[in-house]
Chains A and B, each alone.
Chain A
């Protein structure tokens, strides 16, 4: 077969890595980038002392460029450890922001190549063995790069042997492996295993590409692959001259004429211009590349696409019941499926290990509509909505279902400086929000952790370090823009879709995907921030005293306490944190003192610092949790001696490894309980316990603590029994939510995050 393989047409340069003037190849690479080439490559001869080491040069050039992709042309594999090549490739891909491609070869481009490899201490291989070894190297490189697989690499080849090497690092993008050469054995290897083939055009025989393609395509077919998976890259060289004198020797139009059949008939997807001459590079970029692209689009039945289809290896990891090939075009590029390199970064969230079948990553409300339309056609599968992926309840991922990840909708924009009105995307994280507001002297109370995303928290509540002074996060919400289950984009505020606006503030996960939040934020200067380590030898006494001190404190102060299980032979220690919304040291100390005095202290730290620096407490690492989070949570009016005694028994059981109480009250209670779906306005504390065993935690919690609690906060709840919903929403609130659910999501598309059953009785019969 021949013809075009449907790849996006790309252009690159091949630059000689001379070391006599090392700045020259670097300058040529930068020029390639400025001229719009997609790729710059450097030769890697096995024994050429006039050249720079190609890998070193690639890494250097990565540090001096921003956009252009980089590759060796091609890397002499036998002189390097394939496992080290893999880690180096992932490293350079990470450092360069996903710009590294791997072209590998045996070093035998000229007949002396294999001897030169041996002279430098590489293995002495005949041409057949060299290709075999290269095939093994591909296996090793791919295995090491497959960082999502937790098992170490074991590989028992003839030339390469790995015995339990850990995988990773995970590269920034899927690094394709291209093989360079024209040996028929190598071409068959390309067909069987590689993502691309890289060769140098013989100007005397342009038809050689066709012959080679035939061998590659047959080998691909024999391996059960689609030949279209394999990109064909061709190094070409020529001369620009006024009149046509031969193949790639003439005016730009003649070049286009010569190259067009290679693209249209022989499926070359990347043309790499071999030159160290800036004028040739410029002329090709300006006169040949665009004209060739245009001519190819004219000559082919359909224009060449932006991206290639996913290969067999990726398709093999697809989950049942998902119409992968029908993902809307607007989302296809950024969608992540289990075989994609980004999957390891998006499958799990903060506390839950996930294995979704498809992650859609919309960037606009229209794309969210596309994603929801696609999800509606997959009602049989779980549907998670993810912003920061941090929710304790872990509802933003699933097993085999669809996740709509709005992390990319993360803008933060001031709408009205005087009114302190700010518009924030659901994918922004609270530490980013805090950092963006700080220069204005503003803050918006959020949660207590900066890594949390805006979307999940601002549709659930938002109990944070400024709660007693400034209320919940949702108390500052003035309007949202959201996409409903039927794909409609609507705005909701006190004056538009007011009932929806009521529901979104506390039960938003049941009603749609918010794509923009508009908040009125507060003026907040530097704050007092304290961390105490206190003696928890008397846990019940500590809890009652801490609770009383916090309730008695001015609203400036918000506090939390963390306790753990008994530790053999070590004193029990509680961590107490507190924020005082004041920059006056005397005020801060006066307000903190009663809290610090509730038990003897081991250590303390008090600073005056911006709110944003307290929130800057999360890393940028992708979430990689495993297993299921196990927690229980509830709200409580006062930490009575009875509750504290029960909590002490819970802690003494050893079943709870993390026990956390945060103060609410204050400004939170100023809001009318009917003002929004969050209704538990006059509780003073939020209690959460994490355990390792579901049944044991439930039994203790239900038996010891439940009777003291009044209502719950679903963001921290992982118990799926239906009673939890009734605890989250009092009867009147729940009834109204069910009526609204019937109106906005009657078929229950949003049902995986504490589903509210639509009130079908309110359904009007026609």
Chain B
């Protein structure tokens, strides 16, 4: 039983499909108007059936008013960190502090290499990710004296100017499953962003992974509560309950509240490509989940 006590966030994970190009934009506007907290898009720059995620995020930010935006997660190997840092700060400034930085180490190395990117082993990619996060945070630290100097194994920045600083404290969320990545999350990230459908053992897999993150956080002198646990979820609305996240909205709320109270998840990002599902999630599931969690936390005196 681990509840890290964060306020709950609800968001969407929408396919950034090229055809029709407006679909992802329209669904983001639906999410914004429905009062969701977060709109996210996967990032596979080697996939021509998807819009470029950075371009889409920037465009969508201009067409929405309130919702926060993130890649889910950004493909670091094809997006140089110093440019990413300034781009992220720029989008945060333009959007009035609505950008969060979901980052991934990269996975599909054949496709990355076909695009002209550099092939790394999984272990190398984790080191590269840590270097990149360091560069990004250094660039954002506009008030610090001197230029950015990070002489990493995979990324070298040698005296680049600092800044701009983002409009708000941009969260760095990392997509991770394997032990070394989870330790990296515990050491340096503001959040952990896995996908429930990838867990072979279902939500129970969260227990061991959370522990690994918490241990790494403690070893780095951080509180486990500094790391928000986010979760990509998929499900189906059905008149009667069938299984986890397959049933009526009230059942979804119970399922999600359970994930918060037992496994510490405080952000639910729904894979959805239709407006009706997004609106139902926002109108019925989100408030009911918040209420269940608030009641339980009050009962437990948290």
Q: B209 interface residue, CB < 8 Å from A?
A: no
Asked if B114 contacts A162 (CB within 8 A), the reply is yes
Asked if B113 contacts A79 (CB within 8 A), the reply is no
- In the complex, the chain A residue whose C-beta lies closest to that of B18 is A169
Asked if B86 contacts A165 (CB within 8 A), the reply is no
Asked if B61 contacts A147 (CB within 8 A), the reply is no
Report which residue of B18, B79, B94, B142 has the largest number of chain A beta carbons within 10 angstroms of its beta carbon: B94
Q: B156 interface residue, CB < 8 Å from A?
A: yes
B-chain residues with CB within 8 Å of residue A60 when the two chains form the complex = 58-59, 61-62, 91, 94
CB under 8 Å from chain A, chain B span 262-296 = none
Report which residue of A63, A121, A152 has the largest number of chain B beta carbons within 10 angstroms of its beta carbon: A121
Q: B221 interface residue, CB < 8 Å from A?
A: no
A61-B46 contact, Cβ under 8 Å, with A163-B114, A619-B19, A620-B19: no
Asked if B116 contacts A162 (CB within 8 A), the reply is yes
Residue from B21, B62, B81, B163 in contact with A59 in the complex, judged by beta carbons closer than 8 Å? B62
In the A-B complex, the 8 residue pairs with the smallest Cβ-Cβ separation, listed nearest first, are A63-B62, A168-B48, A59-B58, A49-B163, A94-B21, A53-B87, A88-B52, A91-B52
Residue from A26, A53, A619 in contact with B86 in the complex, judged by beta carbons closer than 8 Å? A53
Residue from A57, A90, A119, A621 in contact with B158 in the complex, judged by beta carbons closer than 8 Å? A119
Asked if A53 contacts B82 (CB within 8 A), the reply is no
A79 to B82 CA separation, bound complex (whole angstroms): 9
A679 to B246 CA separation, bound complex (whole angstroms): 53
A535 to B249 CA separation, bound complex (whole angstroms): 34
A-chain residues with CB within 8 Å of residue B116 when the two chains form the complex = 81-83, 140, 160-162, 165
Asked if B62 contacts A49 (CB within 8 A), the reply is no
Instruction: Say how far A401's CB is from chain B's closest CB, in angstroms.
Output: 27
Residue from B52, B93, B155, B161 in contact with A87 in the complex, judged by beta carbons closer than 8 Å? B52
Residue from A84, A95, A161 in contact with B25 in the complex, judged by beta carbons closer than 8 Å? A95
Q: A722 interface residue, CB < 8 Å from B?
A: no
Instruction: Say how far B41's CB is from chain A's closest CB, in angstroms.
Output: 11
Q: B45 interface residue, CB < 8 Å from A?
A: yes
A-B contact pairs, 26 of them (CB 8 A): A19-B90, A19-B164, A49-B161, A53-B86, A53-B87, A53-B90, A56-B58, A56-B90, A59-B55, A59-B58, A60-B58, A63-B59, A64-B62, A81-B116, A83-B115, A94-B21, A96-B59, A118-B158, A121-B81, A152-B114, A162-B116, A166-B48, A168-B18, A168-B49, A619-B19, A620-B19
- In the complex, the chain A residue whose C-beta lies closest to that of B96 is A22
Residue from B18, B59, B60, B164 in contact with A92 in the complex, judged by beta carbons closer than 8 Å? B59
Number of contact residues on B: which range applies? Answer: 35 or more
Instruction: Say how far B164's CB is from chain A's closest CB, in angstroms.
Output: 5
Q: Mark B179-206, 1 if CB is under 8 A from A, else 0.
A: 0000000000000000000000000000
Q: A301 interface residue, CB < 8 Å from B?
A: no
CB under 8 Å from chain B, chain A span 485-520 = none
Report which residue of B81, B113, B116, B163 has the largest number of chain A beta carbons within 10 angstroms of its beta carbon: B116
A84-B164 contact, Cβ under 8 Å, with A19-B90, A121-B82: no
A49 to B59 CA separation, bound complex (whole angstroms): 22
Q: A567 interface residue, CB < 8 Å from B?
A: no
A-chain residues with CB within 8 Å of residue B155 when the two chains form the complex = 121
Instruction: Say how far A34's CB is from chain B's closest CB, in angstroms.
Output: 17
A122 to B62 CA separation, bound complex (whole angstroms): 29
A79 to B163 CA separation, bound complex (whole angstroms): 17
CB under 8 Å from chain A, chain B span 17-53 = 18-22, 25, 45-49, 51-52
A81 to B112 CA separation, bound complex (whole angstroms): 11
Q: A19-B164, A63-B62, A165-B114 are in contact. List 15 more A-B contacts (CB 8 A).
A: A49-B161, A50-B164, A53-B87, A53-B90, A59-B59, A60-B61, A81-B78, A81-B80, A120-B80, A121-B156, A144-B48, A165-B116, A167-B48, A168-B48, A169-B49
A672 to B48 CA separation, bound complex (whole angstroms): 54
Q: A52 interface residue, CB < 8 Å from B?
A: yes
- In the complex, the chain B residue whose C-beta lies closest to that of A23 is B94
Q: B123 interface residue, CB < 8 Å from A?
A: no
A140 to B57 CA separation, bound complex (whole angstroms): 24
Q: A752 interface residue, CB < 8 Å from B?
A: no
- In the complex, the chain B residue whose C-beta lies closest to that of A79 is B83
Q: A306 interface residue, CB < 8 Å from B?
A: no
Which B residues contact A (CB, under 8 angstroms)? 18-22, 25, 45-49, 51-52, 54-63, 78-83, 86-87, 89-91, 93-94, 111, 113-117, 135, 142, 147, 155-164
Instruction: Say how far B149's CB is from chain A's closest CB, in angstroms.
Output: 9
Asked if A119 contacts B147 (CB within 8 A), the reply is yes
Count chain A residues whose beta carbon lies closer than 8 angstroms to a beta carbon of B.
56
Residue from B20, B55, B62, B163 in contact with A621 in the complex, judged by beta carbons closer than 8 Å? B20
Asked if A147 contacts B48 (CB within 8 A), the reply is yes
B-chain residues with CB within 8 Å of residue A111 when the two chains form the complex = none
Instruction: Say how far A170's CB is from chain B's closest CB, in angstroms.
Output: 8
Q: Mark A59-91, 1 if CB is under 8 A from B, else 0.
A: 111111000000000000001111110011011
Instruction: Say how far B135's CB is from chain A's closest CB, in angstroms.
Output: 8
Instruction: Say how far B29's CB is from chain A's closest CB, in angstroms.
Output: 11
A-chain residues with CB within 8 Å of residue B111 when the two chains form the complex = 165
B-chain residues with CB within 8 Å of residue A88 when the two chains form the complex = 52, 54-55
Q: A320 interface residue, CB < 8 Å from B?
A: no
- In the complex, the chain B residue whose C-beta lies closest to that of A100 is B55
Report which residue of B58, B60, B142 has the largest number of chain A beta carbons within 10 angstroms of its beta carbon: B58
A63 to B25 CA separation, bound complex (whole angstroms): 10
Q: A47 interface residue, CB < 8 Å from B?
A: yes
Asked if B94 contacts A95 (CB within 8 A), the reply is no
- In the complex, the chain A residue whose C-beta lies closest to that of B110 is A164
B-chain residues with CB within 8 Å of residue A61 when the two chains form the complex = 62
Instruction: Say how far B189's CB is from chain A's closest CB, in angstroms.
Output: 22
CB under 8 Å from chain B, chain A span 101-117 = 116
Residue from A22, A147, A169 in contact with B94 in the complex, judged by beta carbons closer than 8 Å? A22
Asked if A122 contacts B18 (CB within 8 A), the reply is no
A19 to B242 CA separation, bound complex (whole angstroms): 51
Asked if A62 contacts B62 (CB within 8 A), the reply is yes
Report which residue of B18, B20, B56 has the largest number of chain A beta carbons within 10 angstroms of its beta carbon: B18
B-chain residues with CB within 8 Å of residue A621 when the two chains form the complex = 19-20
B-chain residues with CB within 8 Å of residue A160 when the two chains form the complex = 116
A169 to B20 CA separation, bound complex (whole angstroms): 12
A690 to B248 CA separation, bound complex (whole angstroms): 41
A-chain residues with CB within 8 Å of residue B113 when the two chains form the complex = 163
Residue from B20, B46, B142, B157 in contact with A120 in the complex, judged by beta carbons closer than 8 Å? B157
Residue from A47, A63, A90, A91 in contact with B160 in the complex, judged by beta carbons closer than 8 Å? A47
